[in-house]
Chain A
Amino acid sequence: MIFDLDLGPLWLTLQLAGATVIVLLLVGTPIAWWLAFTSSRLRTIVEAIVALPIVLPPTVLGFYLLIALGPHGFLGSPWKDLTGSTLSFTFTGLVIASTFYSLPFVVQPLHGAFESVGKKPLEAAWALGASRLDTFLTVASPMALRGYLTAIVLGFAHTLGEFGVVLMVGGNIPGQTKVLSIAIYDHVEVLEYAQAHTLSLGLLIFSFVVLLAVYTANRRLPLHAT
């Protein structure tokens, strides 16, 4: 039963989760920073928007993303002009969709971490001659290390488990968009319980090990309360 198991979906899933986390850190950091330090009234609105994927059914999110990523959508159309190919039903499209889907799971821990760092150490760093970027890299980020760890893990894990959005946006193309959760669903549909079992158990154990490792590391990391 191990031998006829296609590990392609597993590999694809890890790639998707990895790519998504990288994009999310790049996109989520400035959003979280802004949320933590702005006094703008737009703050609450942005906070609410960022949190939307937590409450929305993945199919709703997936539906709108499908439209946005489609050849006439606001993301898909310029992409098509630029590259000649569409976004929907591609790996890139999946990364974009997952980025939206997992956004709150990265932004919220970072937001919390930056807030607990607070303005005080930043002001101290400025007074010592550090520029804003320098301060971010040498003071705020290391002090927010725990937040980053949590953000990475939650972002990764949440992307691993996504189903509805992938199904809507990516479909089920082997090697392109057929991720683990969809492969499991496929196996169950054709009553291949053994294969479904192996993949599910694999995912279960993998997730548990990762979380365990992170919580252990988190406990060992010094807590930088200010």
Chain B
Amino acid sequence: MSQLTANFNLAFPSFHLQANINVRAEGVIAIFGNSGCGKTTFLRCLAGLERSITGSMTLDTYTWQDESQGIFVPLSQRPIGYVFQEPRLFPHINVHANLQYGWKRTDKSVRHIALEQVVQVLDIEQLLERRPSSLSGGEQQRVAIGRALLTSPKLLLMDEPLSSLDLQRKREILPFIKKLDSEFHIPIVYVSHDLNEIVELAKTMVLLKEGKVAVSGQIEEVFSQLNLRHLIPENHLGALVDTAVAEQDQEFGLTKLTFSGGHLHVPHQERTIGERLRVQILAKDVSIISSPPSFQTSVLNLLEATVVEIGEVHTGHPFVDIKLDIGCPLLATITRKSLAALKLHPGQIVYAQIKAVALSSETYQ
């Protein structure tokens, strides 16, 4: 499996980027962080639009930058596709010519993505003869994605491609981005400050804070880590669980999902049996009880769990995060008072009550 490694050290008057990554170059690699943390700069470094004096960047066997050996390949010679925050279509030529711009400049032996395929996947057939200025924002961004794909890149960089769009347009494009991975097998580095998008798309996640990589790894592993509070907003803290649709309960309007640790019941999802679904169980939606409830509970999802780790306790902060194992990792946020009352310790068997399951894709459906 090919790796993407990069190491940049770049000082600006108000900001210092000092970031290393070494991740599997597969699927969507999300770069997340607050605005001003250096996400875009990092992406521009990967592209070679910013040059870090002591940087290096390799993908698989390609070395595009290694300043210690004096190697720096300019962007125009790197097989990299770049989708900017704004579509940046060329206004003086029509959509078709925009799509062909990079394709024409790509060596015949390298081309493995055809215009027809891109046009079909991105559904832009009816736009081909039009001028970019007559397209909606969503349409323009789809063309921009197509234009980048048609250079048959080895790596696709996307800088918040959805951020300038309203929710409806996001919904329109997100499925296309999801498809890119399966259709074209190009690793994508995807910069975003929207965790819903990231949970929906990413296989790998890199968390940036103040120009440095705080955490990186497989997205499920990242989200199951404790002590992310300073990196991720509270309403997004929680483990990701990969599930498959097991059963549709028509009578009660529920969908039963199965995962490595058992089942979850969620409100009815318009999905086919067997379809894979990544869900997030927010830490604030999980409560812990020390023994199975002797009374009936209205909470449908009640799972046996083992306490794995107790998060950092900050005096003055009422909450503490607990990492549980339910066949896969699960995070729960409880009060310090409850922690004391339940006398939680690693290895202890408890029950996790899951009040809600967030289906990330819901936001966009």
Contacts and interface: CB of A to CB of B under 8 A. Distances in A.
Nearest to A139: B90
Contact of A128 (B74, B93, B105): B105
Contact of B88 (A121, A129, A130, A131): A121
Nearest to B144: A124
B212 interface: no
Interface string A135-173: 100110011010000000000000000000000000000
A86 to B, nearest CB: 46
Contacts of A220: none
Contact of A222 (B80, B82, B92): B92
Most buried by B among A132, A134, A135, A224: A224
A129 B90 contact: no
Given A123-B49, A131-B76, A224 B92 contact: yes
Nearest to A134: B105
Contacts of B74: 126
Given A120-B84, A120-B86, A126 B75 contact: yes
A128 B86 contact: no
B91 A128 contact: no
Given A123-B49, A124-B82, A124-B84, A130 B91 contact: no
Given A124-B82, A127-B47, A127-B148, A143 B76 contact: no
B197 to A, nearest CB: 22
Contact of B151 (A121, A129, A132): A129
Interface string B130-166: 0101000000000000011001000000000000000
B47 A130 contact: no
Interface string A34-50: 00000000000000000
Given A120-B84, A120-B86, A127 B91 contact: no
B91 A143 contact: yes
A211 interface: no
B90 A130 contact: no
B84 A130 contact: no
Interface in A24-38: none
Interface string B70-103: 0000111100111010101011110000000110
Interface string B345-358: 00000000000000
Contacts of A138: 101
Contacts of B75: 123, 126-127
A127 B81 contact: yes
Contact of A121 (B77, B80, B90, B102): B90
16 contacts: A120-B88, A121-B88, A121-B90, A124-B84, A126-B75, A127-B81, A128-B147, A129-B77, A129-B105, A129-B151, A130-B101, A135-B76, A142-B92, A143-B90, A143-B92, A224-B92
Interface of B: 47, 49, 74-77, 80-82, 84, 86, 88, 90-93, 101-102, 105-106, 131, 133, 147-148, 151
